[in-house]
Structure 1
Amino acid sequence: MFARTERLTLRPGWIEDAPALAAAIGHDAVVRNLSRAPWPYTLADAEAFVAGWQGDPGPNFLIFAHDSGRCDLIGGVGIGPLGDVPHMMGYWLTPSAWGRGYAVEAGRAALDVAATLGIGRVVAGHYVDNPASGAVLRRLGFVATGTRSSIHARARGVDVETIDYAIDLAERRRDRRLAA
């Protein structure tokens, strides 16, 4: 499954992507805000990640930017299970891609794919010490649920408090039809 936006291509990861994936995600500032990624993030971790892509239950993508005449791996976005939550959205960008609107652009594309697949509700969250992620979620139309939880941050080795959000994709589709 692929998705294309004005500046981005979202596609599954391939084993050939492992070196670029390890380089893009391999920053403490990135990995510390993810629940599943280890630190340090190695080439072997990237190879295992893309090898495990087969049969993944949700729309999960690597993000490639092509707005500079090149096609560079800059991040990842996906919607899939986390614990007992069937549709949790997560995303990350390499630091050189921060502040350019890529997270919102990729997030919109991933939510569009999820809606096409019939996924009705998606939840997300951000660690309390990562408010920039909350800004992205709000721009995508997620609404804070008023709850907080703790999610284990593998790279940090501790549970970290999160602010929880949700989006109703059926409502989002209806609002888009009304705006058209």
Structure 2
Amino acid sequence: MEFRTARLSLHPVDEQEARRIRDHAPQAGDAWAADYPFEGDLAAIGGILRATEQNGDQRPFGYYQIRLRSDGLAVGGVGFKGPPDGEVVEIGYGLVPSARGHGYAAEALGSLVQIAADLGVTTIRADTDLDNVASQRTLEHAGFLQVETDSQLHHYETRISHMRI
């Protein structure tokens, strides 16, 4: 099931599609930006494929291709780095260079947070390199708070309330 925001569609990627992305082998019907996939997508896809081989289909806690609703082009990915540990899950995201600077990453993160909430997750964690100011701003814009810094990463977190008013 695809998830939609105002400008984006988050498309859950299955194993066959993940292999096409890994192999840079789009088929008819795959609409990819010229710079898709980029290294971040390939790392995420590699992790999803390894986890799928070991534990089966990772969806809904897998990788979602970020597509522009205006033209259907894949411009990046957002997803879970595995199933929840209790009610806590870790996420990652990235956009191809040609799609950066438009607020797409924060928009996609907002949708992923909602997906996680609907699946019973209460805490979402993410990290970013110390020098990746754009990613830090994206996380903050999406409602994440910096909770720790170590020698390599800033660690962020957001908590979800399941109370409905």
Aligned to 1:62: 65
Structure 1: state its 5+ residue gaps: 39-44, 150-160
Q: Which letter does structure 2 place at the counterpart of 1:164? A: H
SS at match of 1:100: coil
Specify which of 165, 170, 174 is matched with residue 156 of structure 2: 165
Give yes or no for the alignment of 1:25 onto 2:43: no
Give the direction of change, closer, same or farther, for the CA distance of 1:24–1:109 in structure 2 (3 Å limit).
same
Deviation at 1:125, TM superposition (A): 0.8
Stretch deviating more after TM superposition (5-14 or 135-144): 5-14
Distance in 2 of aligned mates of 1:36 and 1:162: 21
Distance in 2 of aligned mates of 1:95 and 1:125: 19
Give yes or no for the alignment of 1:123 onto 2:152: no
Give the direction of change, closer, same or farther, for the CA distance of 1:50–1:13 in structure 2 (3 Å limit).
farther
SS at match of 2:82: strand
SS at match of 2:98: helix
SS at match of 2:126: strand
Aligned to 1:111: 113
Q: How does 1:88-103 map to 2 (within 5 A)?
A: 88-103=90-105
Deviation at 1:89, TM superposition (A): 1.1
Aligned to 2:43: 37
Q: CA RMSD in A?
A: 3.4
Deviation at 1:6, TM superposition (A): 1.3
Give the direction of change, closer, same or farther, for the CA distance of 1:120–1:146 in structure 2 (3 Å limit).
same
Deviation at 1:12, TM superposition (A): 1.5
SS at match of 2:135: helix
Give the direction of change, closer, same or farther, for the CA distance of 1:36–1:75 in structure 2 (3 Å limit).
closer
SS at match of 1:146: strand
Number of residue-to-residue matches in the alignment: 147
Deviation at 1:49, TM superposition (A): 4.4
- Mapped contact 1:78–1:110 kept (Cα < 8 A): yes
1:94-117 CA distance string (max 9 Å, x none): 111000110011110010010000
Normalising to structure 1: TM-score of the pair? 0.68
Q: Which letter does structure 1 place at the counterpart of 2:81? A: G
Give the direction of change, closer, same or farther, for the CA distance of 1:73–1:49 in structure 2 (3 Å limit).
farther
- Mapped contact 1:91–1:103 kept (Cα < 8 A): yes
Task: Please state which structure has a larger fraction of its residues in strand.
Answer: 1
SS at match of 2:139: helix
Give the direction of change, closer, same or farther, for the CA distance of 1:121–1:50 in structure 2 (3 Å limit).
same
Give yes or no for the alignment of 1:80 onto 2:92: no
- Mapped contact 1:13–1:50 kept (Cα < 8 A): no
